[in-house]
Structure 1
Amino acid sequence: MRLLLYNIRYGTGPNRFFLPCGGYLGDSTRNIEAISDFVASCEPDVAGLVEVDEGSFRTGHRNQAEQMAARLGHYHIYRSKYHAEGWTRFIPVMNKQGNAFLTRDSIEPVFHYFKRGMKKLIIELELENVVIFLVHLALQFRTRHQQLAELYNLVERTEKPVIVAGDFNALWGENEIDLFLGATRLTSANENRVPTFPSWKPRRHLDFILHSPEIHSVRFDVPQVELSDHLPLVWDFEVEPQRATP
């Protein structure tokens, strides 16, 4: 099976000069087509997309997840990354920002929300042999670690092998998640800790795919694609068959 993880920055392209709001409010229609072509070329079974626009003026009021799913012939699910009862639902553009899954098979997701932080969404996708959690963690260090504690509880309650994927915003380096890995017994698919941000000169490892020991890595790649400020992660894996309970 192939999993693609990509923070697409709402299709607005990279922000090479780190300008305030650098391009976030710009038109994304042309770049999202290039991103869609790239994702299609990867032929993923599942794509986890972070920073997706549901249909603001940036996209010509079109849902980017829906557009990309149509390009791939996949199913899709989108949800705002902010809580439905939060103040962000009243803010133009922000109320159209979220995360999404694209899959070959039909989707029946479960949505969870962190208690803390502005970006609260956790999408749980249960497949036949594995459960995938998609997240976008907080920028604030303390909040990020509170969210990891909540995520730990979700992982521990899951009976199938687990994948946790997303933009962890681990601004202080990979060591930020060592305790989380130790507690959950998960392993990073990015064994060589290849940096993923910024895309044009990667220095930081912000995007992670973590997995249970029963999941075996076949191939891992970080394509050098500068269509966003993050690089995508492409991972091929196999799930060890589960023994039947006597």
Structure 2
Amino acid sequence: MKNRKPPIVKVMSFNIAHGLGMDGITDLERTATVIEDSCATVIGLQEVDRFFGERSQFMDQVEWLGNRLGMYTAYGANLDYAPDREGMPNQQYGNAILSKYPITYSKNHHMTPVKQWYGNDEQRGVLEAVIEIDDMAINVFNAHLSLKDEELKLSVDEILSLTQKSKFPCIVMGDFNAPPFYSPISKMNRHFTDAFLKMKRGDAYTYPAPHSYSSTGVDLKPVTRIDYIFFGPEMEVAQTATISTDISDHLPIVADLVLARNKQALRPKEKTSKAKA
């Protein structure tokens, strides 16, 4: 029997800003269309609302996107507030993972906050998921990290601790709120491969999304890269791309990752549970 070709997974990371475009309009259908057109099969989304408020029409954006795209979903709430009215769901804001393949396990990890006199004190988090691809499994970590230097450094250490415990090949992606020359990103590169650097596209800027100030006629373009897709040694990258759009303040990024079949194992069935949230 011939060996099957190793599967290629198209991974996307996208800070969707709860569907708020650079034109000031919130429209989740535009978000879904960009994801759909990308043909990504594993997607990490940041800044996703669930019943959060009027800004997103109190929608469960995770369920809506999962149904719209026909994908499995997992969600991790980093902000979780009591509802304004009794009997309503909690108002939540956090990270989501969408997948064409079954999600067999998911867990949200809150990052340790560091109190400082500057910057906000928003709770940050990393959503973990185990995803089955044929007879294999991968561990996906989707992060939205702090703007504060000390907290960012601590969060990267905590992410690396999580990945070191994993039994499966790991993908780490998300909005790290830090450019490539920051020391926490350099530390990530000592343990994982940056898909865009590997493809010699380290200048593929993702923030802010291109937009115009109509009153001044000034066109703005992305000036820094703060969104990343990292992968472990069991994988290779075939291609990468940024997607030009103004439906969020970040540009989505995609990478085609080739999984080495002979280096992966599937968690025994009795240790997994189906997760579709």
TM-score bracket for this pair, using the shorter chain length: 0.7 to 0.9
Q: Does 1:120 align with 2:124?
A: yes
Q: Does 1:100 align with 2:96?
A: yes
Shift of 1:210: 0.6
Quick one: which amino acid aligns to residue 196 of structure 2? Answer: N
Tell me, yes or no, if the aligned pair for 2:207 and 2:225 is still in contact at 8 Å: yes
Q: Does 1:208 align with 2:228?
A: yes
Q: Deviations over 1:55-76 (max 9, x none)?
A: 2212222111221111111122
Shift of 1:237: 1.1
Q: Deviations over 1:161-194 (max 9, x none)?
A: 1111000000574554112321x2x010112111
Alignment TM-score, normalising by the size of structure 2: 0.75
**In 2, Cα distance between equivalents of 1:196 and 1:174:** 16
**In 2, Cα distance between equivalents of 1:210 and 1:174:** 15
CA RMSD, 1 decimal: 2.3
SS of 1:79's equivalent? Answer: strand
Q: Which has the larger radius of gyration?
A: 2
Structure 1 residues 139 and 95: alpha-carbon distance in aligned structure 2, compared to 1, 3 A threshold = farther
SS of 1:68's equivalent? Answer: helix
Which one of 62, 65, 70 corresponds to residue 67 of structure 2? 70
Tell me, yes or no, if the aligned pair for 2:175 and 2:227 is still in contact at 8 Å: yes
Tell me, yes or no, if the aligned pair for 1:13 and 1:228 is still in contact at 8 Å: yes
Q: Which residue of 1 aligns with 2:44?
A: 48
Quick one: which amino acid aligns to residue 126 of structure 2? Answer: I
Tell me, yes or no, if the aligned pair for 1:52 and 1:99 is still in contact at 8 Å: yes
Percentage of matched positions with identical amino acids: 26
More strand by share: 2
Quick one: which amino acid aligns to residue 233 of structure 1? Answer: I
Tell me, yes or no, if the aligned pair for 2:76 and 2:107 is still in contact at 8 Å: no
Shift of 1:195: 1.0
Q: Does 1:232 align with 2:235?
A: no
Shift of 1:235: 1.2
Q: Which aligned segments of 4 or more residues in structure 1 are displaced greater than 6 angstroms?
A: none
Which one of 132, 140, 146 corresponds to residue 140 of structure 2? 132
Q: Which residue of 1 aligns with 2:195?
A: 189
Which one of 53, 58, 63 corresponds to residue 55 of structure 2? 58
Alignment TM-score, normalising by the size of structure 1: 0.83
Which consecutive residues of structure 2, in runs of 5 or more, have no partner in the other structure? 1-8, 85-89, 115-121, 211-220, 266-277
Q: Does 1:199 align with 2:199?
A: no
Q: Which residue of 1 aligns with 2:168?
A: 160
Q: Which residue of 2 aligns with 1:81?
A: 78
